[in-house]
């Protein structure tokens, strides 16, 4: 990890692997969408609506994982003063917020025909909504505070305090009565889903994960380039 502390070394690595990661993302999406929309059967109860799960579940799972990544990066920034840790956390936030919003919207589009309502204030849905607010709060801190060191200090606290919400989202369906179904993949007894539905779900989850990796590396590279241009501009101004 310390190897990547040098932004120039990070740029070299990112430039080398990004084309391959983008290519893998495109292949995973092509395979995932083929399985999700064409090859997989409709569910015997949900009918064609089950296909919403192939975009809803990966978006929801990744939005939780991305927040954990932001909290880890924030902890690394505090403990090790790693120069790219804050950059990595900040770059992940808009992607995580988009995934979280998509999980809420696609969940709502599934809920209307299946539950008869767009939204209920139950534990799982409410805690996911809180996750979206945490993402927006984290992004707002960076946008609202001009002093980047102060913004980083507050943003780290938002990320670290907010990560408490992640296990609440995960276990909300077990701790409280919820309209949302309990875990059906990560269970001690194994997945409760038929392989004809589990495989498209797994490939789409891989595609969403690879897309995150592609977007995250691109966003970090953009941030490093921006800092470099800003530093050179300031150097030029002070030399005049």
Binding segment (CB under 8 A) for other proteins, from list 45-53, 72-80, 162-170, 175-183 = 45-53
User: Which CB sits closer to other proteins, 76 or 217?
Assistant: 217
Distance, in Å, from the CA atom of 60 to the CA atom of 128, rounded to the nearest integer, reads 8
Q: How far is the CB of 215 from other proteins (least distance, A)?
A: 6
**DSSP state, residue 46:** T
Residue 140 is a binding residue for other proteins (CB under 8 A) = no
Inter-CA distances, 70 with 73, 92, 135, Å: 5, 7, 10
Return the number of other C-beta atoms located less than 10 Å from residue 134's C-beta: 24
Q: Which of 12, 47, 167, 182 binds other proteins (CB under 8 A)?
A: 47
Distance, in Å, from the CA atom of 112 to the CA atom of 115, rounded to the nearest integer, reads 6
Identify whether the C-beta of residue 131 lies closer than 8 Å to the C-beta of residue 125. no
Residue 57 is a binding residue for other proteins (CB under 8 A) = no
User: Which CB sits closer to other proteins, 59 or 76?
Assistant: 59
**DSSP state, residue 5:** G
Residue 152 is a binding residue for other proteins (CB under 8 A) = no
Identify whether the C-beta of residue 186 lies closer than 8 Å to the C-beta of residue 88. no
Here the tokens at position 195 are 């392989």
Q: How far is the CB of 42 from other proteins (least distance, A)?
A: 7
Q: Which of 32, 57, 71, 110 binds other proteins (CB under 8 A)?
A: 110
Q: Which residues bind other proteins (CB under 8 A)?
A: 37-38, 42, 47-49, 51-52, 55-56, 59, 94-95, 98, 101-102, 105-106, 109-110, 112-113, 211, 214-215, 218-219, 221-222, 225-226, 228-229, 232
């Amino acid at each position: 990890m310390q190897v990547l502390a040098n932004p120039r070394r990070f740029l070299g690595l990112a430039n080398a692997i990004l084309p391959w990661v983008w290519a893998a993302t495109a292949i995973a999406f092509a395979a995932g969408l083929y399985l999700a929309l064409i090859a997989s059967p409709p569910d015997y109860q949900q009918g064609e609506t089950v296909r919403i799960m192939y975009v809803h579940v990966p978006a929801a799972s990744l939005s939780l994982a991305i927040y954990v990544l932001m909290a880890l990066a924030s902890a690394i920034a505090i403990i090790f003063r790693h120069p790219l840790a804050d950059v990595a956390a900040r770059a992940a936030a808009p992607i995580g917020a988009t995934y979280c919003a998509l999980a809420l919207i696609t969940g709502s589009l599934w809920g209307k025909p299946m539950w008869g309502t767009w939204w209920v204030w139950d534990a799982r849905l409410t805690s996911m909504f809180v996750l979206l607010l945490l993402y927006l709060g984290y992004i707002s801190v960076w946008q609202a505070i001009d002093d980047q060191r102060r913004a980083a200090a507050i943003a780290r606290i938002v990320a670290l305090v907010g990560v408490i919400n992640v296990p609440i989202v995960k276990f909300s369906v077990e701790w409280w009565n919820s309209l949302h179904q309990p875990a059906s993949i990560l269970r001690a007894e194994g997945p409760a889903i038929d392989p004809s539905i589990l495989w498209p779900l797994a490939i789409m989850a891989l595609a969403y994960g690879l897309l995150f990796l592609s977007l995250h590396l691109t966003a970090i590279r953009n941030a490093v380039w921006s800092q470099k241009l800003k530093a050179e501009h300031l150097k030029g101004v002070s030399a005049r």
